[in-house]
Amino acid sequence: MKSLSNRFLRRTYRLLLVFGFDIRKFIYAIKGSFFYFKGFCRFYLEHRKATYKFKKIKFDPVLDNWYTLAGNAKGHYFHQDLIIAQSIYKNNPNKHIDVGSRIDGFIAHVASFREIFIADIRDFSSTNKAIHYLQVDLMSELDIDLRECCDSLSCLHALEHFGVGRYGDPISYEGYLSGLENLTKMLQVKGKLYISVPIGEECINFNAHRIFSLGYFLDLLEKNFVLDKFSYVDDNGDLHENINIAEKDKKDSFNCEYGCGIFELTKS
């Protein structure tokens, strides 16, 4: 019963966020108002006694930081971006291409130590010399010059969006299959593929994303790839790294509702 209640609350919270209302931040702001005005009064008294006075003091309240941690070292993106960037650093490929991953997370990590090429259906511009951009729809026929064009390829938390229209891409029920086929074509034999998707009970959350069962997604990958390493992030945002997958795990996806499976593979 508690598990069902927690799921309902999480889904309600996410739905409110879609419409721009963060109930958690609202509650923190109400509670933080007391500390804000108390602190401002004290600060203003010290301002009057100061030897050097700034010309202006403006109201610019940030009311929720009293209740937040120094940072958030949890969640899908935090863990996947770090461990895959570390793998690329270790493997040191000739050419790495990324498809649709987070720019201010994974791409920034990799660009800090090497050149990276990114492919995305959306517009993008960057003045960073380590980042090169190509606009491409990976659900359509792959250009000949993109076939077997790299020995290292990543697609982190992106394939689940293909075809559901979230990012202006055309609607395609099997867009993820077209995307995975084109990712396979882009990679050279013996090249490395790094890919992550949500795992749990199979579901399409239109137009946000798909959730894959672990068993089904492994079946898709084994046609062209050998699994080198599997890790996953659970519903609490904690990482379980380099995990052996049993038959039970394929069926229940490690009991995740909305986990993140992180796959490191070699093209066969």
Q: Tens of pLDDT along 70-109?
A: 677 889 999 999 999 999 999 999 999 999 999 999 999 9
99: DSSP letter? E
- The interaxial angle of helices 2-18 and 23-49, nearest 10 deg, is 70
- Per-residue pLDDT for the chain (268 aa), expressed as one digit of tens each? 556 567 777 778 788 888 888 888 888 888 888 888 888 888 888 888 888 888 888 878 888 777 776 677 889 999 999 999 999 999 999 999 999 999 999 999 999 999 999 999 888 888 899 999 999 999 999 999 999 999 999 999 999 999 998 887 889 999 999 999 999 999 999 999 999 999 999 999 888 899 999 999 999 999 999 999 999 999 999 999 999 999 999 999 999 999 999 999 999 9
DSSP codes, 130-194: TEEEEE--TTSPPPGGGTT-EEEEEEES-GGGTTSSTTSPPP-TTHHHHHHHHHHHHEEEEEEEE
Say how far apart CA 202 and CA 257 lie, in whole Å: 9
Position 207 scores a pLDDT of 83
Residues 6+ apart with CB under 8 A from 21: none
Position 2 scores a pLDDT of 52
Position 27 scores a pLDDT of 84
End-to-end CA distance of the chain: 46
Position 4 scores a pLDDT of 58
Sorted by where each begins, the domain ranges of the chain are 2-67, 76-267
**Domain 76-267 classification at class level:** alpha beta
Q: Tens of pLDDT along 199-235?
A: 999 999 888 899 999 999 999 999 999 999 999 999 9
Position 49 scores a pLDDT of 87
Peptide bond into 242 cis (omega under 30): no
